[in-house]
């Protein structure tokens, strides 16, 4: 993928993630960020970068451990909710607008680099991977959580894709980051060692219908899909397909339903 096309895709991504209310969706995955911080062993005083930090679900737990944290994202509109979340948690961190493919930080600036379901949306996966390693100090660690293509969120994006225009030639779907083979290829030759863990998070809703309503109103990709499809009379067909998917995945729990979302955790260490 050439740089011009990547720039166009990122402009669309900025608009997409700025729409809706991502922080309400982020609450469904908030525990993943804290779990990643625990898994990678973030320590007080370490310099930590969260790539595509959203509203802080990994950055804030890292700051709670006493780390010096920069939360970066291509969509600074998300920082309003992120700062409110940080204030509520009683921590301070820096919020920086940044492109995962061109991070505005010097080489070897961080002890830890994190991303929960964020770096995977950079259009040129290999460029984002190289940037994450570039800003990491020798001996530093990175941890990325990425949706699996055959998991529920992967199915969710595939379902949306069936109703939307095809992606440009050379586009690699974000959930490719959820496969070990793809990640190994991305980091081959970058001087890192990798380990993987298959993980999942349960997301809780009142009902499948509630899940559909929440994502239709709050989740940027769905908000944009509705804007494109509703004038064509095609929105209801997408909703019907998604509702079928939700119903097939939902398990009764606590007076509502729980749906499991599978992801891959990649932990990397940069050679010293």
Give the domain CATH number at 48: 3.40.50.150
Indicate whether 247 belongs to any domain: no
Indicate whether 193 belongs to any domain: yes
Instruction: Write the CA distances from 42 to 70, 103, 112, 116, 187, integer angstroms.
Output: 14, 21, 7, 15, 22
**Cα 203 from chain centroid (whole Å):** 15
Indicate whether 103 belongs to any domain: yes
Structure-block tokens of residue 253: 């729990």
- Over the stretch 225-240, which tens digit does the pLDDT of each residue have? 999 999 999 999 999 9
**Nearest CA among 114, 130, 28 for reference residue 73:** 114
**Nearest CA among 144, 111, 116, 110 for reference residue 129:** 144
- Over the stretch 125-182, which tens digit does the pLDDT of each residue have? 999 999 999 999 999 999 999 999 999 999 999 999 999 999 888 899 999 999 999 9
Indicate whether 19 belongs to any domain: yes
**Three-class SS of residue 2?**
coil
Count of the separate structural domains present in the chain: 1
Indicate whether 181 belongs to any domain: yes
Instruction: Write the CA distances from 87 to 32, 36, 46, 103, integer angstroms.
Output: 20, 21, 20, 25
Average pLDDT, the chain: 96
State mean pLDDT over 59-78. Answer: 98
**Three-class SS of residue 35?**
helix
Q: Contact, 179 vs 186, CB < 8 A?
A: no
Indicate whether 61 belongs to any domain: yes
Domain extent for 8: 3-149+170-204+261-270
Of residues 115 and 169, which shows the higher confidence score? 115
Structure-block tokens of residue 208: 């499948």
**Nearest CA among 113, 114, 54 for reference residue 85:** 54
Please indicate, yes or no, whether the overall pTM of this predicted structure exceeds 0.85: yes
Indicate whether 156 belongs to any domain: no
Indicate whether 231 belongs to any domain: no
Measured distance CA(181)–CA(169) in Å, rounded:
21
């Amino acid at each position: 993928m050439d740089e011009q096309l990547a720039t166009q895709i990122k402009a669309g991504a900025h608009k997409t993630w700025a729409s809706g209310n991502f922080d309400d969706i982020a609450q469904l995955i908030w525990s993943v960020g804290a779990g990643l911080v625990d898994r990678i062993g973030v320590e007080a005083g370490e310099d930590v970068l969260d790539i595509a930090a959203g509203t802080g679900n990994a950055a804030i737990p890292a700051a709670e451990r006493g780390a010096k944290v920069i939360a970066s994202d291509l969509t600074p509109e998300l920082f309003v909710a992120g700062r409110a979340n940080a204030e509520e948690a009683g921590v301070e961190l820096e919020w920086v607008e940044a492109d995962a493919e061109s991070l505005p930080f010097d080489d070897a600036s961080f002890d830890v680099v994190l991303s929960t379901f964020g770096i995977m949306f950079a259009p040129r996966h290999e460029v984002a991977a190289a940037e994450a390693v570039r800003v990491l100090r020798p001996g530093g660690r990175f941890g990325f959580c990425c949706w699996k293509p055959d998991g529920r969120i992967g199915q969710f994006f595939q379902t949306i894709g069936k109703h939307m225009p095809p992606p440009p030639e050379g586009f690699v779907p974000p959930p490719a980051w959820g496969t070990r083979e793809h990640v190994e290829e991305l980091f081959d030759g970058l001087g890192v060692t990798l380990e993987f863990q298959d993980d999942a998070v349960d997301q809780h809703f009142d009902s499948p219908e509630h899940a559909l309503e929440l994502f239709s109103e709050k989740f940027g990709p769905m908000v944009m899909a509705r804007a494109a499809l509703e004038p064509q009379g095609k929105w209801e067909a997408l909703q019907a397909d998604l509702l079928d998917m939700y119903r097939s995945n939902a398990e009764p729990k606590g007076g509502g339903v729980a749906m499991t979302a599978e992801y891959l955790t990649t932990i990397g260490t940069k050679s010293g």
